[in-house]
Structure 1
Amino acid sequence: MKVKAVNGLVRLLREEGTDWVCTFPTNIFVNACGEEEMPLLMVRTERFAVAVSDAYGRASNGKKIGVSAVMGGLNAAGTEMAYGALAQAYEDSSPLLCLTDGVPNEATARERFNIEDGFRSVTKWSGYINQGRRVPEFVRRAYTQLRSGRPSPVMLQVPRGLEEYETDEHSYTPVKGWRPAGDPADVEKAVRALLHAKNPMIYAGQGVFFGDACAELKKFADLTGTPVLTTLMGKSCFPENHPLSLGVRDVPAERWLKGSDLVLAIGASLGTTSFGHEVPTKGKTIIHCTIDEQDLNRATRMDHAVVGDAKLVLTQMIAEAEKQGAKPRVGVEVEIAGAKEEKMKKYRPLMESNDKPINPYRVYAEIIETIDPKNSVVTHESGNTRDQLTTVYDAVVEHGVMAWGNVSTLGFGLGAAMGAKLAYPKRQVVSVTGDAGVSYQMGDYEALIRHCMGITTIHINNGGFSGYGPGFWGGGHTPYACEVTKQDVYNTAKMAEALGMHATRIEEPDEIAPSLKDALKENEKGHPAFIEVICSRHPVYGAWVRPPAR
């Protein structure tokens, strides 16, 4: 049977398990999706379309690949707009498929902006389909890249006017993907070193999610009695109410990163980032388990390495630890509990504060008390909402928090929330944004309404952004560009309400919980909600561990 090239591609997407394509028109794929009855999630910007697809892949541990379609070809404005979101997905090692119009064959090498060249640095692989019959080949190659090795975005270009192809002659089988296990000798050395260490710790990253290895991580930690710290993007891969959890930052993280004699990093690149710890190496044994050998000795020196998929390597480590007679360490849980209490002595007064304007930590406390911790996803925006939430919010289920930010682009928080809701439609989803993020998000609130996305957005409105000016915290790092319109002049709740959202503005601390409960009830009806909270500026949160200045 003959099929148009682009329609054939959409059919193959369905074979690969695609449930929808997120898009901002126009592009060659929109009508093909309609003709093939592939649901379209139409949003307001190309960048947001890519962000939703990115977040969906993260929330589903890569089992589902989000697909976005943006305008390309000779008028590549949509592709250019999508660049920032693809760059973030690439930096964060997140898999997604971005589809775009290719430059027509007769115009290649005549255009000024070349899509292939422009996106080579932010995609794992990019393919240009130059013949209709090659559609199955290129889709096969794309999904091989998406499901094997280090997760990253992939781009496919399809020019208009390709000939039809015969599906019987060019058949297709969905790609399963391939994952390597670790070298048994490397596994044996790593486990032996960990079991002989006096004060070891595990540093777990997002690779644990993409390896679908959360259960194996917990089993290995329990078996050996080893504390677990997670990276920002790895937050919630280990339950943070577990007695061996060190969380992400502040006192427990600092104490174990500085005081341990061995660090086992698994599913973490140990690269240089503004939003993570730099693991101290002096006097420590560093074991690095990663799926990508390019991570090894790149930013952090290591003593032992195991190259492989997180699930397979942890399964090997569990078997090897049992073989070597591993027993849980005694007393470490009491030490961790003491470190956690020391941390909370700093933040508990802020979380119980009745001050006005409202302290943002009081907002986080009310979120913790109101939502169902076992059936929810909380995400943040770039900036203080990220830093504050990840300091005090404990995730007790996998993806109970979707934390992000190797590269931290404003507006991604709403995309993260929408992707999480698509992956977990029955969970409560709460997205917290600040003054900078809300302006990036506002246009896409309409998409939430149209697609009946039951998500609550909480705006921490403190009338400022960009690091703030002078205050009790010091001089501030951006004193000349930190002010926005005052809180008594503009009202984001009214803006959201005008778009059709259920919206509330709060100035009293005791109004937070009732308003959040009302918002969640609206969400149950498939209606998005918006809560604006008039807050004080309080840029206090757990620091990232850094080596001493030289």
Structure 2
Amino acid sequence: MKGSIAIAHLLKEYGVRHLFCFPANPLIDASASVGIQPIIARTERGAVNMADGYSRLSPRGTVGVVTMQDGPGIENAFGGIAHAFADSIPILVLPRGTARSRQSYGPSFSAIANYAHVTKWAAQINMSDRIPELMRHAFSKLRSANGAPVMLEVPYDVLTEEIKELDLSAHDSSGFRSSGDPADIRDAVAALLKATNPVIHVGQGILDSEASDELVEFAELVQAPVMTITPGKSAFPETHPLSIGNGATTATGMVNHFLAQSDLVFGIGSNFYRSLMSVEIPSGKIMIQCSSSEQDLNNEYSLHHGVLGDPKLILQQLIDEVRFQTNNRGTETNEPLLLEIQKQRTQWLDAWMPKLTSPDTPINPYRVIFELNNAIDHSKTVVTHDSGNPRDQLTPFFEATEPKSYIGWGNSTQLGYSLGISIGGKLARPDKTFIHVLGDAAMGMVGLDFESSLRASAPIVTIVFNNGRMGGYGNSMPNATATYASNLLGGNYTEFGNSMGVKSERITNPEDIAASIKRAIQSTENGQSALVEFMTGEESNFSRVSWM
């Protein structure tokens, strides 16, 4: 058999059902021959984003796989792979490489050299008889702690050469994870139980380790309010009485209140980096962090206690240790705390209700978010934002109720990323409705892949905020804006969507928002992607914490 067929058989043995790709690579046809469906995107970046979304929404250990040609193919993929690396998403990248006899001569592009700093491991299948060994090692790395892309470059002659019989069975590569040091667990719990006003700070690690149930049990046991940073949004149900919502570059009023008053911040599966994804933590707090990556510990914030290990295993240890240190009692239900959380939530929402229910035209984007939150079945829906204003407006106010019902992202903020991850996510979870919210600037980056959702049989809902400009950029380039209107852009995205085969409509009346969203969802249930273009005004008000 040829090398490409051997790789395809191994992919199938490791449970791969879809190959995200952009031609040309012999692996595409080889995979199709063994029953793996090729999902061909319009661009390499789009294909990588789809593989990323597939990994995000799949059970732990199931990863998206993407392939492309050498040269321009793997060169064009860089943005998508760098984004997956920034957001700690495991994907397997299998680019075609230059034939071994032509390597080291120009103008060949070395994927291994150029991707070493945005992958967990980058190697080349330099001999056909090493295919099983290197594939096994790749899947082991992908399924272990600290998710990130893994790349195996396959030279063209390895893909096409006839090779001897190989063992093409999938050897155990379930991945590895470890629990925390018991002494570190003991010290962290002792500090937490001494605190007067602790806050639990939750990140993506809870979702990656599938630890939401343990998180809820732990929070109830210690009776501490729980906030998420954007990558961790949906790890803790925002309908829970202890939830204080999301805190990032924008935040809920509850985060503003309780984080300011806290004396201890207990991070689980979260990083404490100062970024768009995580609200800055005021000084003077006792800082505890539990993470699977030593790179996160003692970084931008000095820690009083740290625990290194898998968040799910750590939470199990924390629960046992709390029970031990409290003689199996835990902390009694803190009714005053629960009442204060509800009071702060009510005050915050009341203050924002004029925006959330605004009758204005052009439509206020907060009105769209309010109607979206009320129009969907949260148990059957996955929502995500795009970069910029849609992210900052959506993350505080959209209510995430189940793990992975919201995809929070943005350690890299590439416009248009939400489209690809929604298509990939839909293929991983066809039982869910996928809705992504983006602005008109992001549309220009990725719009052609709407048609890819139809060919992939992955119908999704696209919500576009069209205000004819790049939101917020007028302030960063005032001279260019005033003299040349450089912040303006535009288009009729309804006409564009219809031309791509997507059921599309433009909404100008806020009273039509809810019905249009429901029509779009019905369209996806009938197998057709839908786009709703809301003609919005530029909204400059954001829900932020008082110290930022």
Fold shared per TM-score above 0.5: yes
Q: Secondary structure at the match of 1:469?
A: helix
Asked if 2 retains the 8 angstrom alpha-carbon contact of 1:201 and 1:256, the reply is: yes
Secondary structure in 2 matching 1:322: helix
Query: Residue 273 and residue 504 in structure 1: after superposition, are their counterparts in 2 closer, same or farther (change >3 A)?
Result: same
Which residue is 2:240 aligned to?
242
Segment of structure 1 superposing worse, 183-192 or 340-349: 340-349
Instruction: For 2:181, give the aligned amino acid.
Output: D
Per mean C-alpha deviation after superposition, the further-off stretch among 343-352 and 326-335 is 326-335
From 16, 21, 25, the counterpart of 1:18: 16
- Shift of the 479–242 alpha-carbon distance from structure 1 to 2, 3 Å rule, reads farther
CA deviation vs aligned residue, 1:427-469 (integer Å, no higher than 9, x gap): 1211111011111231101111222222111111111115143
> 291-300 or 475-484: which moved more?
475-484
Letter of the structure 2 residue corresponding to residue 68 of structure 1: V
Bigger mean CA deviation after superposition, 255-264 or 220-229: 255-264
Q: Secondary structure at the match of 2:146?
A: coil
Q: Which of residues 52, 56, 63 in structure 2 aligns to 1:65?
A: 63
One-letter code of the match for 1:389?
L
Deviates most, 171-180 or 195-204: 171-180
> What is the aligned partner in structure 1 of residue 225 from structure 2?
227
- SS of the aligned residue for 2:474 comes to coil
Contact residue 7 and residue 33 of structure 1 kept, 8 A: yes
Secondary structure, aligned partner of 1:9? helix
Equivalent residues in 2 for 1:156-235 (5 A)?
156-162=152-158, 163-168=161-166, 172-235=170-233
Q: Which runs of 5+ in 2 are unaligned?
A: none
Taking the aligned partners of 1:475 and 1:337, their CA distance within structure 2 comes to 41
Residue 260 of structure 2 corresponds to 258
Alignment partner of 1:320 is 2:315? no
Shift of 1:189: 0.7
Match of 1:497 in 2: 498
Shift in Å, 1:420: 2.2
- Structure 2 distance, partners of 1:171, 1:92, is 31
Which of 116, 119, 123 is the matching residue for 2:119?
123
Q: Deviations over 1:59-111 (max 9, x none)?
A: 22543201111111xxx101111101111111111111111012211112223
* Amino acid corresponding to residue 86 of structure 1 in structure 2: I
AA aligned to 2:434 is V
Query: Where do 1:76-475 residues align within 5 Å?
Result: 76-112=71-107, 113-162=109-158, 163-168=161-166, 172-248=170-246, 249-280=251-282, 282-325=283-326, 326-328=330-332, 330=334, 331-469=336-474
Amino acid paired to 1:20: H
Which residue is equivalent to 2:515?
Answer: 514
1:534 counterpart residue number: 535
Write the distance in 1 (CA, Å) between the matches of 2:340 and 2:520. Answer: 39
Matched residue SS, 2:16: coil
Amino acid at match of 1:529: A
- 1:36 maps to which residue? 34
Contact 1:279 1:546 in 2 (8 A): no
Decide whether aligned partners of structure 1 residues 111 and 362 sit closer, same or farther in structure 2, where only a CA change above 3 A counts: same
Give, in whole Å, the separation in 1 of the partners of 2:397 and 2:119: 34
State the TM-score, normalizing by the size of structure 2: 0.94
Contact kept in structure 1, 2:12 and 2:34, CA below 8 Å? no
* 1:270 CA drift (Å): 1.6
Per the alignment, do residues 453 and 170 of structure 1 end up closer, same or farther by CA in structure 2, a change over 3 Å counting? closer
Deviation of 1:144 (Å)? 1.6
- Which whole-Å CA distance do the structure 2 matches of 1:197 and 1:189 have between them? 13
**Aligned match of 2:52:** 54
SS of alignment partner, residue 157 of structure 1: strand
Please, which runs of 5 or more residues in structure 1 have no aligned partner?
A: none
Partner of 1:533, secondary structure, is strand
Distance 1:107 1:453 in 2: 40
Q: What is the SS of the residue equivalent to 2:298?
A: coil
Kept after mapping to 2: 8 A contact 1:411/1:438: yes
The one-letter code matched in structure 1 to 2:494 is A
* Contact 2:188–2:288 (CA under 8 A) maintained in structure 1: yes
CA distance in 2, matches of 1:538, 1:476: 17
Q: Distance in 2 between matches of 1:95 and 1:348?
A: 40
| 1:391 and 1:541 in contact (8 A); partners too | no
How far is 1:343 from its partner?
Answer: 1.8
Q: Tell me the secondary structure at the aligned position of residue 362 of structure 2.
A: coil
Deviations 1:141-185 (A, max 9, x none): 111211112100111111122244444557541411000100111
CA change 1:4–1:264 in 2 (3 A) is same
Q: Residue 232 of structure 2 aligns to a residue in which SS?
A: coil
Q: Distance in 2 between matches of 1:166 and 1:348?
A: 69
Contact 2:233 2:400 (C-alpha < 8 Å) held by counterparts: yes
C-alpha distance in 1 between matches for 2:493 and 2:261: 46
How far does residue 324 in structure 1 lie from its aligned partner after superposition?
Answer: 1.4
Structure 1's 168 and 69: CA in aligned 2 closer, same or farther, altered over 3 A? closer
Aligned residue pairs total: 535
Residue identity in the other structure for 1:355: D
Q: Give the SS at the match of 1:152.
A: coil
Confirm or deny: 8 A CA contact 1:233 1:403 kept in the other structure.
yes
User: Deviations along 1:502-544, whole A, 9 cap, x unmatched?
Assistant: 1111111111122222111111011001111111110322236
Give 1:124's aligned amino acid: K
**What is the deviation of 1:476?**
7.4
How much does 1:9 deviate? 1.1
Q: CA deviation at 1:351?
A: 1.3
Displacement of 1:361 in angstroms is 0.9
SS at match of 2:318: helix
The amino acid of 2:488's aligned partner reads V
Q: Please say if residues 467 and 476 of structure 1, whose CA atoms lie closer than 8 Å, have aligned partners that are also in contact.
A: no
- Work out whether residues 353 and 359 of structure 1, in 8 Å CA contact, stay in contact via their aligned partners in 2: yes
Distance 2:131 2:405 in 1: 38
Please tell me the residue identity of whatever aligns with 2:305: H
* Bigger fraction of residues in helix: 2
Shift of 1:478: 8.0
- Identity score, percent: 37
Mark the CA change 1:476 to 1:33 in structure 2 (over 3 Å): closer, same or farther: same
